[in-house]
Amino acid sequence: MACDRCGAPAVEWLRYSGEHLCRAHFLDFVERRVKREFRSQVDLRGGERIAIGMSGGKDSSTTAALLAKFLENRRGVELVGVTIDEGIASYRPQGIDYARRLCARLGIEHRILAYADTVGHAMDEVVVVDPEAIPCSYCGPFRREALNRAAREVDADYVATGLNLDDTAQSILMNVARGDIEKLARMGPHETRQPGLVPRIQPLRMIPEKEVYLYALLSGIEFHDATCPYAERAQRGRFRDIVHRLEEESPGTRHAIVSGYDRMRPLLQAKFPPAALNACARCGGPTVNEICKACELRDRIARLETARELESTS
């Protein structure tokens, strides 16, 4: 097949629009979309620092490479790569290596923050202490906490994540299916600044996962191509399958879910404006409650550990 724009051999067929694109036009297409999205999410006046949550995977590596490219000639705006080490021995160390190498290549600072230091436990320990739980139900809040803490430590004005279109459509459907309209209204990207919380931006939120993968391959971005050993137990997997099926049957569904959500968002936010945040009574982190979710989970781990110790000594 030939590229619809120049006639060169096509590398990708965008099923949802029917367009065939060659390598150069595909890369250009992705870059333009991401740049537009990035610009709509940030207000850069110079002097800002943007932290990028980098797992070493394709999404966050592509985010880092693209932001570095967009900001190449923009003096005064700095990027900092931040990797959260969840403590998953069979998976995370390789991801850290990829993130470190990419940061070195892009000439940006790289920091690592481990759950061992924020939670006090590696995820490999958490799954032993609470074998019944879905690991991501711990890991999600712990990661949000660690990423925010790392972003604050590097004085970041924004923290960018690699969330792609598939992830975004899944999150919207998950919140709808749970009837969690407040959470739906408060999904990123964040438009307001709240004390203690670094606003999250998501430059890839309109790029399908497959296109992120292809972009990374075609532009020579090396990334860690592996899946977390605990991912199969995640609830998100069901929604991944649902979104995949909907898109197969009706190309363009993911874009429609996210664009439809964006049109609804002002209405939802009028009903549920950003909640006033308190400092968690335990750790001082931002929370809508008295105690933050990460502290609640830390308490739960401590209780389970005590119960295990008592059991083993009785």
Query: Which part of the chain contacts Zn ion (CB under 5 A), choosing from 93-101, 109-117, 155-163, 292-300?
Result: 292-300
> Cβ closer to ligand SF4: 140 or 274?
140
Is residue 292 at the binding interface for Zn ion, with CB under 5 A as the rule? yes
- Output the DSSP codes for 238-276: HHHHHHHHHHHHSTTHHHHHHHHHHHHHHHHHHHSPPPP
Q: Is 228 in the site for ligand SF4 (CB under 6 A)?
A: yes
Euclidean distance between CA atoms 99 and 51, whole angstroms: 13
Task: Write down the least CB distance from residue 218 to Zn ion, Å.
Answer: 13
In the bound state with Zn ion, the residue whose beta carbon lies nearer, of 57 and 286, is 286
Among 16, 23, 116, 140, binds ligand SF4 (CB under 6 A): 140
Q: Is 22 in the site for Zn ion (CB under 5 A)?
A: yes
Contacts of residue 219, Cβ cutoff 8 Å, sequence gap at least 6: 27, 65
Q: Which is nearer to Zn ion, 156 or 295 (CB)?
A: 295
Q: Please, which residues bridge with residue 20 across strands?
A: 13
Is the sign of the CA dihedral 204, 175, 301, 149 positive or negative? Answer: positive
CB of 303 to Zn ion, least distance (A): 16
Q: What is the DSSP string of 120-135?
A: SS-HHHHHHH-TTS-H
Indicate whether 285 belongs to the interface with Zn ion (CB under 5 A): yes
Out of 50, 139, 146, 221, name the contact with ligand SF4 by CB under 6 A. Answer: 139
Stretch that binds ligand SF4, among 135-143, 196-204, 205-213, 258-266 (CB under 6 A): 135-143
Report in angstroms how near the CB of residue 224 gets to Zn ion at its nearest. Answer: 30
How far CA 194 is from CA of 21, 43, 279, in Å, comes to: 42, 16, 11
86 near ligand SF4, judged by CB under 6 A: yes
In angstroms and rounded to an integer, the radius of gyration of the C-alpha atoms of the chain is 20
Q: Which residues bind ligand SF4 (CB under 6 A)?
A: 86, 123, 135-136, 139-140, 228, 230-231, 234
